[in-house]
A and B are shown apart, each in its own frame.
Chain A
Amino acid sequence: MANIVLNSVSRTFQREGKDFLALDNVSFTCHEHEFVAVVGPSGCGKTTCMRMAAGLEFPDSGSVTVGGKVVNAPGPDRAVVFQQFALFPWKTVHDNILFGLRSMGVAKAEAAERIATNLKLMNLEGYESAYPHQLSGGMQQRVAIARAYVLNPDVLLMDEPFGALDAQTRTVMQEELLRVGRANPRTVMFITHAVDEAVYLADRVVVMTRRPGAIKEIIDIKPIRDAENWQQYERIEDVMDLASFVHLRTRIWRLLREQHNPGDH
């Protein structure tokens, strides 16, 4: 079962010679095929949680497991979509998407088929031989998502994937992610600081506090979404108009506000 489990995870960083607690006893689970968004102010350690699941960082105490196995290195079974896309600038769109498949030793014919499927899924047909710098930010992020999806990963880890995009592109990408996610459900950990985005996309939202980074509350979205049948609306703005959406958003905002200390900035 491809779930992500953080169990009593703590992590201390050193900054300017002083220790500070980045994550304090954090536990939560992303169940199989569940979309979990983690929100919190900058510096609350939400990205660190994702990086631990990816195997890019490790806890000082506690454990991080994916599919029951302790994470000890990055790998293509846990595809990461980075905020700054992290496409290889020296590879074409096609070769960027092919990269992970080659590491996995996927046969040529199958790789070609999977790439074609994902190019279509992400509306990238016709851009196979373009280099990343020739594409807009939104297109680059489509490539990065295709590069992750093509691996058929058990889990998807997304670190503020739309943070670097302009508002309109962002909206389009959110709608597409939801569409793609419905067609191919995955276990997703989605890091963001945008509350709207979290409520719109996620089945559950983990709200974090900072200093030290800890979990404030975990909010279930899915039951409300299903009850109010958000799926009938195609556009994000229609969903955002619903009283149930506004209510959830306000609730999360309050949680984030409560911890806001005016002296911090």
Chain B
Amino acid sequence: MKARRDPVRPIIGLATMLALVGFWLVGSKVGLIDPQSFPSPDQFWAAAKQLTIGDGYADGRIHSHVLQSLKLICLGFFTATAVGVPLGLWMGWSRKAEALINPIFLLIRPIPALAWIPLAIVWLGLGDAAKVMILWFAAFVPSVINSFTGVRNIERPIIEASAMLGARGWNLIKDVIVPGALPSIFTGLRLSLQGCLTALVAAELLGALLGMGKVLYQAGLDIYPAMILAGMVPVALVGFALTALIDWVERRSMPWRANH
């Protein structure tokens, strides 16, 4: 959400968070919060220690789980967007390409990424390959759609000016189509990333040797609420970090934009 310059804002925000943490601390002590449903701070602390510096959980410590998940996200995200973005740009530019490919794409598009999971498992088993396939579909669809609309939304006079100035071929792609569609491409990449994170956790919840979803899965099986909570922290942090990374790349790659 849009941050505004308002001096009371961070104070109230901080106060709210402190109040919640306070409620958690006190509520767990006096039995207001049932530790069977939601862990007490002590339990959470112990689980977090186990996961990070202790014996680990679900066959690994935090770094091996996170690295495994990051590896899959990178594989899925980059292979999907490497195909999806050029495909979307091409469909946006060429009406013929759109007419040819769009019907096929429309068959794939309504299927949520998570609905590919059973098929991926039947075809590729429970290993990394199936997960990359799921992540691929999760990232592919938004990257195509947004690259496509990005090209279509380039203002007409800009297109006409580039034709008048004689832009053709590679120069046209590099100097007009890509920069013109770039804001929309980044919207697509951000959605692709979100899709990847969701698909990753779901796929790992369904069976994995390692990974952030595996921690959650095991903790659910063991009815170990403190570890469920501890396992959600890396999910949020990785989501935050990758989104921040995309934001950073976006700002760096569009220095011409008015507001930054």
Contacts and interface: CB of A to CB of B under 8 A. Distances in A.
Contacts, number: 71
Interface in A87-128: 87-92, 99-100, 102-104
6 contacts: A75-B164, A82-B160, A88-B179, A99-B165, A103-B165, A104-B166
B172 to A, nearest CB: 9
Across the A-B interface, the 6 shortest Cβ-Cβ residue pairs: A103-B166, A86-B157, A100-B165, A90-B179, A86-B161, A74-B163
A122 B166 CA distance: 23
B153 interface: no
A82 B166 contact: no
Contacts of A100: 164-166
Given A90-B179, A90-B180, A131-B256, A82 B167 contact: no
B176 interface: yes
A89 B164 contact: no
Main DSSP-derived SS at the B contact region: helix
Contacts of A104: 166
Nearest to A83: B157
A239 to B, nearest CB: 31
A103 B163 contact: no
A103 B157 contact: no
Interface of B: 155, 157-158, 160-168, 171, 175-176, 179-180, 182, 254-258
A88 B176 contact: yes
A78 B167 contact: no
Nearest to B157: A86
Contacts of A54: 160, 164
Given A80-B164, A90-B182, 7 more contacts: A74-B166, A76-B164, A82-B161, A86-B158, A88-B176, A89-B256, A99-B162
B158 A88 contact: yes
Interface centre among B176, B182, B256 (most CB of A within 10 A): B256
A103 B160 CA distance: 14
A75 B165 CA distance: 6
Contacts of A78: 164
Nearest to A56: B160
A132 B157 CA distance: 15
A65 interface: no
A131 B155 CA distance: 17
Contact of B160 (A74, A76, A79, A90): A74
A7 interface: no
A88 B164 contact: no
Contact of B175 (A55, A75, A87, A88): A88
A179 interface: no
Nearest to B159: A86
Nearest to A134: B258
A86 B155 contact: yes
A84 interface: yes
B222 to A, nearest CB: 53
Contacts of B179: 88, 90-91
A204 interface: no
Given A84-B157, A86-B157, A86-B160, A103 B167 contact: yes
Contacts of B167: 99, 103
A47 to B, nearest CB: 12
B175 to A, nearest CB: 7
Interface string A198-216: 0000000000000000000
A87 B179 CA distance: 13
A254 interface: no
A147 interface: yes
A133 interface: yes
A15 to B, nearest CB: 18
Contacts of A92: 256
A56 B161 CA distance: 10
Nearest to A77: B166
Given A88-B179, A89-B256, A133-B256, A80 B161 contact: yes
